[in-house]
């Protein structure tokens, strides 16, 4: 058997590496992790070729040692030295992609370029002179489309050919002073290495790359010697060594592209450019974004979503509903005519002269109303017309009973024991049903977000925000994880991998989950529905509070030593606007929605069972046993809740139910609604009515803010731990999130109460102190030396 040939696939993220890798290897793949780190390692045998192994390296923008991906890719290339590098280049993004290429060709390993996405280039009408490009870069280029499968095997065969052949020699040179220094360095410290590797090492030494300097184990004298060479080049070119190299690479690339790349119809503003002029405008960008997000939340929470959720909550998971809505209005008219009849009759029977009415939503009782003879007669005739029970919805259309009614009837027929029907009705149906009731609203929200993402608008927002973020030492890159986090925090946290700077990455991991994810939508909608009359402002404000929390935290953390440093340059291509395909948007909506429904069927089901058992069992005067609905205060859960409720007392909602709901929210945020459905919905009142009684607008909002910002669910905490790869940082993140949430909701409660006219002096003092600390961090504390706020923006 011949010796193995090892082909390494290297390229920028999203250049199409995975697509090419799959096309080359088919099903002969082995997936594992790179030794010692969590970056995925994929290897596979080349189709129809014995003894050729393809390795998919992590996607990288350069060979600098800043991200984990870069270190892994670089260690592999430098340490293992594959026989050939197949550099996949996204032809629609030549400038950025070739930056990596200029570094790969310096390694002294044969390089073949697979120029990918040629289908798109041809479609756009751009012209690439491949021969010229190949000549200038000094390596073979094969045009391919990984997606369509064209040219893929030819590229691999070229790579195999190159593996046996001569080395690739870099064609570009740096400016005089740099080359002068590099020559000195080669002479002084790397001459013992194989010829073809010397240049790469010398350039890295010139850049003062720590890891390379370490690996060379230089003595003090040579270090000092090369330092004078580097210094003199820096002085001559008036920049630091690393920036000199970066700039010269880009200048070189710009030069090559001038002679080998021609963009179609340059000069004329495309439709996309015209839209961008407004949408990414310095002043209009943010207001437009705010209006769009308000509209998105309004549509999903109030416009379309609310009626669907009303149906799901009151109909499907409530008493029942009229099929196709036929008969609903006739029934409502009758119900209105029937009106206060029961209250009047009851009062008459008791021999009273007045009666009171109770508002369905607020549960407020009216002032006593006098019963005149006229009123009494009217009530009697109503009772005759509709019967003592009032109008029956079933006589106005096809009445479909809700799930709780159906399940209740079934259980009664089966004669199940009291505790079992309690578990099923008050536990599972009430808990899981409360969560599932929000699915319609959530699907509408996901649909709209998926549309904004797919049409290219969200990419613009990252760009708009970068301009603002950068003023505070943050990068717009932190926005991408946030965007992903609106669906679910777990992939959001994972998306932070694209951030080069370790400190910024940690910071983003810590703050991403502030944004309301899909699982938080139900409780936000519940609070807004029960306490704020369903106002769209509440849910929209949740989104902007989440975003503000990220920005405020970012600024505060950035000013500490732990997180100081320059933001990474933000490089992102703005895709042109396009109408997304219906299938894509629906698929994205369904993926998010379905994972939500699956969760309701597993982890939330389990949690509601636990919550039900612990809330309906407990100690009474007769000893341990099942409790009646008005005895929940003696339950196990109430005992546990009371032990921790004091913690939340300063936030204004120190009752055990709310405390318990926040804790179960750590398992999964949907549980907040499920738990409240069980704990508040089991008495005479509906859960909404009970909530409206238990919370004021101030404490309700404070509860919302706390649960929005505090530590995320276990799954997301697990993701934080994996990405931090460090227990201390994980705990720091959790504590920061909880502490921040606590302070902000303390501020909301205390100042809210102050305006409502009931002052708690101690609480207010703490709230004012918190505001002062935050203000100090935001406006007065200085950035450390390490953070230069003038960092250049790369568009």
- Name the residues that contact ligand GDP, by CB under 6 A: 11, 13-19, 59, 116-117, 119-120, 145-147
Quick count: other Cβ atoms within 10 Å of Cβ 239? 15
Euclidean distance between CA atoms 300 and 441, whole angstroms: 5
Quick count: other Cβ atoms within 10 Å of Cβ 398? 11
Euclidean distance between CA atoms 383 and 221, whole angstroms: 106
Taking the least distance from each CB to ligand GDP, the nearer of 91 and 474 is 91
Q: Considering the rule CB under 5 A, would residue 175 count as an interface residue with Mg ion?
A: no
CB of 59 to Mg ion, least distance (A): 6
From the list Mg ion, ligand GDP, none, partner contacted by residue 119 (C-beta under 5 to 8 A by kind): ligand GDP
Residues contacting Mg ion: total by CB under 5 A: 1
Quick count: other Cβ atoms within 10 Å of Cβ 540? 21
| Strands (DSSP E) found in 182-253 | none
Euclidean distance between CA atoms 235 and 724, whole angstroms: 39
Taking the least distance from each CB to ligand GDP, the nearer of 499 and 733 is 499
Instruction: Locate 3 and state its tokens.
Output: 């010796």
From the list ligand GDP, Mg ion, none, partner contacted by residue 520 (C-beta under 5 to 8 A by kind): none
CB of 17 to Mg ion, least distance (A): 5
Q: How, if at all, do strands 261-262 and 140-143 pair?
A: unpaired
Taking the least distance from each CB to Mg ion, the nearer of 18 and 130 is 18
CB of 64 to Mg ion, least distance (A): 20
From the list Mg ion, ligand GDP, none, partner contacted by residue 19 (C-beta under 5 to 8 A by kind): ligand GDP
Q: Dihedral through CA 512, CA 518, CA 523, CA 524, nearest 10?
A: 70
From the list ligand GDP, Mg ion, none, partner contacted by residue 146 (C-beta under 5 to 8 A by kind): ligand GDP
Q: How, if at all, do strands 354-355 and 5-11 pair?
A: unpaired
From the list ligand GDP, Mg ion, none, partner contacted by residue 108 (C-beta under 5 to 8 A by kind): none
Residues 8, 18, 179, 711: which binds Mg ion (CB under 5 A)? Answer: 18
Instruction: Locate 618 and state its tokens.
Output: 């407990």
Euclidean distance between CA atoms 366 and 194, whole angstroms: 93
CB of 15 to ligand GDP, least distance (A): 5
CB of 102 to Mg ion, least distance (A): 22
Assess contact for 51 and 1: CB atoms under 8 A.
yes
CB of 320 to ligand GDP, least distance (A): 46
CB of 460 to ligand GDP, least distance (A): 19
| Strands (DSSP E) found in 329-441 | 354-355, 369-370, 399-401
Taking the least distance from each CB to Mg ion, the nearer of 16 and 700 is 16
Instruction: Pick the piece of the chain touching Mg ion (CB under 5 A) from 14-22, 155-163, 235-243, 339-347.
Output: 14-22
From the list Mg ion, ligand GDP, none, partner contacted by residue 120 (C-beta under 5 to 8 A by kind): ligand GDP
Q: Which of 348, 351, 350, 354 is nearest to 367 (CA)?
A: 354
Q: Which of 588, 703, 691, 578 is nearest to 651 (CA)?
A: 703
CA-CA distances (angstroms) from residue 621 to 477, 517, 528, 625, 626? 60, 44, 39, 10, 12
Instruction: Locate 149 and state its tokens.
Output: 């499968």
Taking the least distance from each CB to ligand GDP, the nearer of 42 and 184 is 42
Spell out the residues 6+ positions from residue 623 whose beta carbon is closer than 8 angstroms to its own.
Answer: none
Residue nearest to Mg ion (CB): 18
CB of 6 to ligand GDP, least distance (A): 19
From the list ligand GDP, Mg ion, none, partner contacted by residue 14 (C-beta under 5 to 8 A by kind): ligand GDP
User: Which residue has 């991991």 as its token pair?
Assistant: 509
Taking the least distance from each CB to ligand GDP, the nearer of 148 and 262 is 148
For residue 712, the 8-state DSSP code is -
Taking the least distance from each CB to ligand GDP, the nearer of 247 and 272 is 272
CB of 88 to ligand GDP, least distance (A): 7
Taking the least distance from each CB to ligand GDP, the nearer of 92 and 615 is 92
From the list Mg ion, ligand GDP, none, partner contacted by residue 371 (C-beta under 5 to 8 A by kind): none
CB of 85 to ligand GDP, least distance (A): 15
Taking the least distance from each CB to ligand GDP, the nearer of 19 and 64 is 19
CA-CA distances (angstroms) from residue 702 to 123, 531, 675, 761, 786? 54, 12, 18, 18, 37
Instruction: Pick the piece of the chain touching Mg ion (CB under 5 A) from 11-19, 451-459, 500-508, 703-711.
Output: 11-19
At 9, give phi and psi (nearest 5°).
Answer: -90, 120
Q: Considering the rule CB under 5 A, would residue 246 count as an interface residue with Mg ion?
A: no
From the list Mg ion, ligand GDP, none, partner contacted by residue 232 (C-beta under 5 to 8 A by kind): none
Taking the least distance from each CB to Mg ion, the nearer of 10 and 530 is 10
Taking the least distance from each CB to ligand GDP, the nearer of 261 and 736 is 261
The radius of gyration computed from the CA coordinates of the chain, to the nearest angstrom, equals: 33
Assess contact for 90 and 15: CB atoms under 8 A.
yes
CB of 183 to ligand GDP, least distance (A): 36
Euclidean distance between CA atoms 573 and 459, whole angstroms: 8
Taking the least distance from each CB to Mg ion, the nearer of 58 and 437 is 58
CB of 116 to ligand GDP, least distance (A): 5
Residues that bind Mg ion (CB under 5 A): 18
């Amino acid at each position: 058997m011949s010796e193995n040939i090892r082909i390494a696939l290297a390229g920028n993220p999203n250049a199409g590496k995975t697509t090419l890798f799959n096309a080359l290897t088919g099903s002969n793949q082995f997936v594992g992790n790179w030794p010692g780190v969590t970056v995925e390692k994929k290897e596979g045998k080349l189709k129809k070729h014995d003894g050729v192994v393809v390795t998919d390296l992590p996607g990288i923008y350069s060979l600098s040692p800043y991200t984990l991906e870069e270190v892994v890719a670089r260690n592999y290339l430098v340490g293992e030295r594959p026989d050939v590098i197949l550099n996949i280049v996204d032809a629609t993004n030549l400038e950025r992609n070739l930056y990596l290429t200029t570094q790969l060709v310096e390694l002294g390993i044969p390089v073949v370029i697979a120029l990918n996405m040629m289908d798109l280039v041809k479609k756009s009408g751009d012209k690439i002179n491949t021969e010229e490009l190949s000549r200038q870069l000094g390596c073979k280029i094969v045009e391919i489309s990984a997606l369509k499968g064209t040219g893929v095997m030819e590229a691999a065969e070229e790579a195999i050919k190159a593996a046996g052949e001569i080395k690739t020699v870099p064609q570009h040179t740096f400016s005089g002073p740099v080359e002068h220094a590099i020559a000195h360095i080669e002479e002084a410290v790397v001459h013992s290495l194989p010829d073809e590797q010397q240049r790469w090492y010398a350039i890295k030494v010139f850049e003062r790359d720590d890891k390379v300097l370490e690996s060379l184990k230089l003595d003090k004298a040579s270090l000092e010697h090369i330092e004078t060479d580097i210094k003199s080049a820096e002085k001559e070119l008036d920049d630091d060594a690393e920036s000199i190299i970066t700039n010269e690479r880009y200048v070189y690339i710009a030069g090559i592209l001038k002679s080998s790349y021609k963009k179609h119809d340059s000069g004329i503003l495309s439709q996309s450019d015209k839209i961008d002029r407004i949408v990414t405008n310095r002043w209009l960008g943010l207001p437009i974004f705010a209006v769009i997000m308000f509209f998105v939340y309004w549509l999903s929470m109030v416009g379309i979503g609310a009626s669907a959720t009303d149906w799901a909550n009151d109909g499907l998971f409530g008493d029942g509903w009229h099929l196709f809505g036929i008969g609903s209005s006739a029934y409502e008219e009758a119900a209105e005519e029937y009106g206060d009849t029961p209250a009047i009759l009851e009062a008459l029977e008791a021999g009273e002269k007045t009666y009171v009415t109770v508002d369905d939503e607020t549960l407020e009782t009216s002032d006593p109303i006098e019963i005149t003879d006229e009123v009494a007669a009217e009530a009697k005739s109503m009772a005759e017309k509709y019967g003592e029970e009032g109008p029956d919805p079933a006589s106005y259309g096809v009445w479909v009973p809700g799930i709780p009614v159906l399940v209740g009837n079934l259980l009664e027929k089966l004669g199940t024991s009291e505790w079992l029907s309690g578990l099923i009705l008050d536990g599972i149906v009430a808990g899981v049903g409360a969560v599932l009731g929000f699915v319609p609203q959530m699907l509408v929200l996901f649909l709209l977000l998926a549309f904004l993402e797919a049409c290219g608008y969200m990419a613009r927002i990252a760009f708009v925000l970068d301009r603002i973020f950068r003023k505070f030492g943050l990068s717009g890159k932190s926005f991408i994880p946030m965007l992903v986090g609106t669906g679910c925090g777990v992939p959001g946290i994972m998306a932070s991998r694209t951030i080069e700077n370790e400190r910024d990455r940690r910071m983003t991991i810590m703050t991403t989950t502030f944004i309301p994810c899909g699982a938080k939508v139900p409780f936000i909608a519940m609070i807004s529905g029960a306490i704020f009359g369903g106002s769209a402002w509440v849910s929209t404000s949740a989104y902007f509070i989440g975003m503000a929390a990220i920005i405020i935290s970012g600024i505060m953390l950035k000013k500490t030593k732990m997180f100081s440093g320059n933001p990474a340059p933000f490089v992102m291509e703005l895709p042109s606007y396009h109408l997304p395909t219906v299938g894509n948007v629906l698929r994205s909506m369904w993926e998010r929605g379905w994972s939500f429904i699956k969760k309701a069927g597993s982890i939330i089901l389990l949690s509601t069972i636990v919550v039900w058992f612990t809330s309906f069992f407990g100690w009474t005067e007769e000893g341990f046993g099942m409790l009646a609905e008005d005895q929940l205060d003696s339950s196990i859960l109430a005992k546990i809740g009371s032990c921790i409720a004091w913690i939340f007392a300063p936030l204004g909602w120190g009752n055990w139910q709310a405390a318990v709901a926040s804790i179960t929210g750590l398992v999964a945020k949907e549980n907040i609604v499920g738990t409240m459905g069980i704990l508040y919905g089991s008495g005479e009142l509906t859960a909404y009515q009970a909530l409206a009684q238990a919370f004021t607008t101030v404490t309700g909002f404070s509860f919302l803010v706390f649960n929005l910002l505090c530590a995320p669910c276990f799954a997301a905490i697990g993701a934080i731990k994996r990405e931090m790869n460090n227990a201390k940082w994980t705990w720091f993140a959790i504590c920061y999130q909880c502490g921040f949430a606590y302070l902000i909701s303390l501020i909301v409660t205390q100042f809210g109460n102050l305006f409502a006219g009931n002052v708690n002096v101690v609480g207010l003092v703490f709230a004012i102190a918190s505001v002062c600390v935050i203000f100090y961090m935001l406006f007065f504390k200085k950035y450390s030396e390490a953070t230069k706020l003038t960092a250049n923006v790369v568009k």
